[in-house]
Structure 1
Amino acid sequence: MSPFSTHHLDRRSFLSLAALGAGAATLAACGGPSTGSGAATAQADLDFSGVKPASTITFWSNHPGKSEEVEKSIIAKFHAAQSDIRVNMVTAGANYEEVAQKFQTAQQGGELPNVVIFSDAWWFRYFLNGSIIPLDGVFEQLNVSTSDYRKQLLADYQYAGKQWAVPYARSTPLFYYNKNHFKAAGLPDRAPKTWQEFAQWAPRIKAANPGIQNVYQHPALADYAGWTLQNQLWGEGAAWSDKFSLTANSDKTVKAMQMVQDTVYKDKWAGVSSKDASADLSAGAVSATMSSTGSLVGVLKAATFDVGVGFLPGGSVNATNVCPTGGAGLGIPKNNTKEQQLAAATFLKFLTSPESTAAFSAATGYMPVRESADMSAVLAKTPQIRTALDQLAVTRQQDYARVFLPGADQEMAKAAGKILTQQGDVTAALGDLQKTLQGIYDTDVKPRLNA
């Protein structure tokens, strides 16, 4: 009997899923409706009794949060702990999408990895294509209990009572700010409770720090704009959608996005990063921004000033539960030998162990994925990580429109670009987005849904 239960999915984005032909089949997630696709039922647990682990395996990573060195360190510790399995780490891309493209190509006849990293947006495509195995059987063989994994994160990779991956580099956005700039403005040493409060603070920060580029820097549009903008929408009682009822151009959404645009053009205290908002903050060019917890350690190392972190601000309607989760997990490809799969699971167990995840968190700022991870030394050195852990309890499931419509995140970024970098009419831009999203739903999604 499987020890896993079915929970909602909370995936980061679909990005280039549509280009790879995943189509609407990605909707068969446990947080959404079922589909008529038979792909999901074609998978089966694998029996690993009597299997001897392979002696060499490969691990594909993009080293999220500049984690290559800590990944090498964990692999070295794995080698020191046992002598039967050697791990070769491969830099398979600069980001999750490049790893996904390479993995997709390998399915057609290339050399597959034995452990592969993928964002929350990609694992379900692999599941539907029959490219990965459920971990239940191999974990049972290795006596791995998943009860110690953080439930909010583990559930993102569950479907039909099976576990298809485990969390690895997981994050939420945080509110980062320059403590010196806030102090100069006579403000409290904390993140604003709401965006309305921050709008009141902004002129004081700007006046007290005349050399800065912007008080607040919106994240780069290419850096998952549809993901982070959910914060501002949810705070105003808006959303990209209500289940599959699309609300990208609702009155509430238009009002919320007009407020965001006003920070740039009307009130003139915010801008949009061209590449990396956290780097803009670290350089002292801006006083505050929103960025992933995976940027935390890098920001603290790069900044020459005291960096403050806090929960994402709420809005006039919802002051809390306005934060999404994101990040990556680890899975095992199906088209490998059982010997390789068992060896891969042995390494995966070590890579996400309490000790390893604590080390990974300390080096990057990503959240430890195990409840029992001893974070005392990490928190003593980097107490800001506590904020990320505490915020996890008040996260919210992402909007269907963003995570269940193929390519929707790209369309949201385009609309955000019109609004925030071209000063386009908010109502018109969101009206166009609504039509585009409705077209995706009507053409690629609705026909696949079961009655």
Structure 2
Amino acid sequence: MTSSSHRPRGLSRRSLFGLGAAGAGALGLAACGGPDVGGDGGGGTEDLDLDFADVDPAQKIDFWTSHPGGSQEVEAELLAAFTEETGIEVTHVTAGSNYEEIAQRFQTAQAANSGLPAVVVLSDVWWFRYYLNGNIIPIDTLVETLEIDLSDYRDSLVEDYQYEDKQWALPYGRSTPLFYYNKDHFSAAGLPDRAPETWEEFEEWAPKLTEAETAYMYPDLAGYAGWTLQNVLWGQGAAWSEEWEITCNSPEAVEALQWVQDSVFANGWAQVASSDSADTFAAGVCSATIASTGSLVGVLDSATFDVGVGFLPGGSVDGPVCPTGGAGLGIPAAVSKEEQLAGAMLIEFMGRPENTVSFSAATGYMPVRKSADLTELTEKTPEIQTAVDQLDVTRPQDFARVFLPGADQEMAEAIASIVTTEGDVQEAMDGLKETLEGIFTKEIEPKL
């Protein structure tokens, strides 16, 4: 992978998934962090009977969730409404406090071949492993059976789960990062009531922001460094990777991340959050941060100041600088067809336009349906419209973050060495490149 002669040619985002069952066992291994979500062998769904014409739905199913965005209460309300409409009882299972814990529990249930749910929350960096291991089914037949209108889902969100010309999940708690700023602090500093258009502009503003302990708070590194720093990299014409070529140590990437380090040490206007930066921001500790749209409602509820939100700042290179993220809902392959049908009915219900609005109102996640009436929602929480509008300028995440097992943790460790101990940026990125290439060589390349 260090030169084009060592890279597979013509491998696109979609053609990765031509690996099918052959690559399932290897890619299921979380080589650098996180649980193994598959068994020893691969899976594949070619031998599954996906004809549901004569199937009656199960009358009792489990729904596994981490309650993204603090959604436990609204989930419970939606599940109760689903039961009232269909008669299907749903056990609302807290399968973990985060996506990694759900993955660990899913692994355990797979190994035991028991206790699996009919519907499971799948994150952006975990779901494809389930797919490669044959742990989830394509839902196309169920979409057709239940007459789910995929064209009414927001294109960039539903397409995230389309591979090998099949639909593997549907969007649920979907988000982008947002730029959050303290309007009171900006006003006191004589700054415009808006997010900066570029990071260069914010760097000019930062010395004027003296009302808080720090002008800007980078999100906590675990789970967020690899995601949010794509914004800074892309704005400088850099990336973690260009398809399967790891580019995190390119001159452009090193320059971008040197700027990040300088913002903390040499220039001193930024810090790194030790916990959720949204909570830190809401407490007034910093004047601005980047956090998920899923944190929006919580920030607005807890902040004692006027909160502003805007698009992510750009850089010197034109083009989209905002990644999508979040989770979808999928159906395990190992449960009965009756449970799969009932699970699909639940996914259809949760994804109805009016229900996605209720979910968004409670969490800040984006309504995933085009036909959702946002009038009442945006009247109450106008900031959500900014998140929806930013969908038009999103960019698919880098292969290295979402397709290499354990890469997100490796990115966080490399960034930690840069922003917490002022380590050498080039050295850190050279080391990260070597590590990511090792994951590729061991886990993916032999199966291409």
TM-score, L = length of structure 2: 0.90
Deviation at 1:144, TM superposition (A): 2.1
Match of 2:322, SS state, is: coil
Determine the structure 2 residue equivalent to 1:68: 72
Amino acid at match of 1:93: G
Change (3 A) 1:124 1:223: closer
Determine the structure 2 residue equivalent to 1:426: 425
Determine the structure 1 residue equivalent to 2:278: 278
| Residues 244 and 401 in structure 1, CA contact (< 8 A), matched pair in contact too | yes
Residue 86 (structure 1) aligned to one of 76, 85, 89: 89
User: Per-residue CA shift, 1:184-231, capped at 9, x if unaligned?
Assistant: 00000000000000000000112xx2xx22100000011321111110
Structure 1 window deviating more from structure 2 (60-69 vs 46-55): it is 46-55
Determine the structure 1 residue equivalent to 2:380: 381
Match of 2:200, SS state, is: helix
TM-score, L = length of structure 1: 0.90
Query: How large is the Cα RMSD of the aligned pairs?
Result: 2.1
Alignment of structure 1 residues 333-352 onto 2, 5 Å = 333-352=332-351
Match of 1:438, SS state, is: helix
| Residues 45 and 133 in structure 1, CA contact (< 8 A), matched pair in contact too | no
Q: Partners in 2 of 1:217 and 1:292 — Cα distance?
A: 14
Residue 97 (structure 1) aligned to one of 96, 100, 103: 100
Residue 122 (structure 2) aligned to one of 118, 124, 132: 118
User: Per-residue CA shift, 1:301-330, capped at 9, x if unaligned?
Assistant: 010000000000001223x41000000000
User: Per-residue CA shift, 1:244-284, capped at 9, x if unaligned?
Assistant: 22211111111000000111001101000001111111000
Change (3 A) 1:357 1:54: same
Deviation at 1:8, TM superposition (A): 5.3
Determine the structure 1 residue equivalent to 2:19: none
| Residues 117 and 330 in structure 1, CA contact (< 8 A), matched pair in contact too | yes
Amino acid at match of 1:307: V
Amino acid at match of 2:104: Q
Amino acid at match of 1:422: T
Deviation at 1:404, TM superposition (A): 2.2
Amino acid at match of 2:60: T
Structure 1 window deviating more from structure 2 (379-388 vs 434-443): it is 434-443
Q: Partners in 2 of 1:98 and 1:245 — Cα distance?
A: 30
User: Per-residue CA shift, 1:32-84, capped at 9, x if unaligned?
Assistant: xxxxx9744636560011211111111111100000000011112222323x3
Q: Does 1:131 align with 2:130?
A: no
Change (3 A) 1:43 1:395: farther
Change (3 A) 1:96 1:16: farther
| Residues 13 and 243 in structure 2, CA contact (< 8 A), matched pair in contact too | no
Q: Partners in 2 of 1:376 and 1:247 — Cα distance?
A: 43
User: Per-residue CA shift, 1:367-410, capped at 9, x if unaligned?
Assistant: 11111111110000000000100100100111122222221111
Structure 1 window deviating more from structure 2 (420-429 vs 170-179): it is 420-429
Change (3 A) 1:59 1:342: same
Determine the structure 2 residue equivalent to 1:17: 30
Determine the structure 2 residue equivalent to 1:294: 294
Deviation at 1:9, TM superposition (A): 10
Match of 2:209, SS state, is: helix
Alignment of structure 1 residues 204-283 onto 2, 5 Å = 204-206=208-210, 209=211, 212-283=212-283
Q: Partners in 1 of 2:121 and 2:67 — Cα distance?
A: 9
Amino acid at match of 1:221: L
Q: Does 1:107 align with 2:120?
A: no
Q: Which runs of 5+ in 2 are unaligned?
A: 1-11, 17-26
Alignment of structure 1 residues 298-377 onto 2, 5 Å = 298-318=298-318, 320-377=319-376
Change (3 A) 1:39 1:54: closer
Q: Partners in 1 of 2:28 and 2:269 — Cα distance?
A: 30
Deviation at 1:133, TM superposition (A): 1.4
| Residues 44 and 134 in structure 1, CA contact (< 8 A), matched pair in contact too | no
Change (3 A) 1:38 1:329: same
| Residues 176 and 293 in structure 2, CA contact (< 8 A), matched pair in contact too | yes
Q: Does 1:165 align with 2:159?
A: no
Change (3 A) 1:48 1:365: same
Determine the structure 1 residue equivalent to 2:24: none
| Residues 28 and 129 in structure 2, CA contact (< 8 A), matched pair in contact too | no
Q: Partners in 2 of 1:171 and 1:422 — Cα distance?
A: 31
Q: Partners in 2 of 1:21 and 1:43 — Cα distance?
A: 23
Aligned length: 423
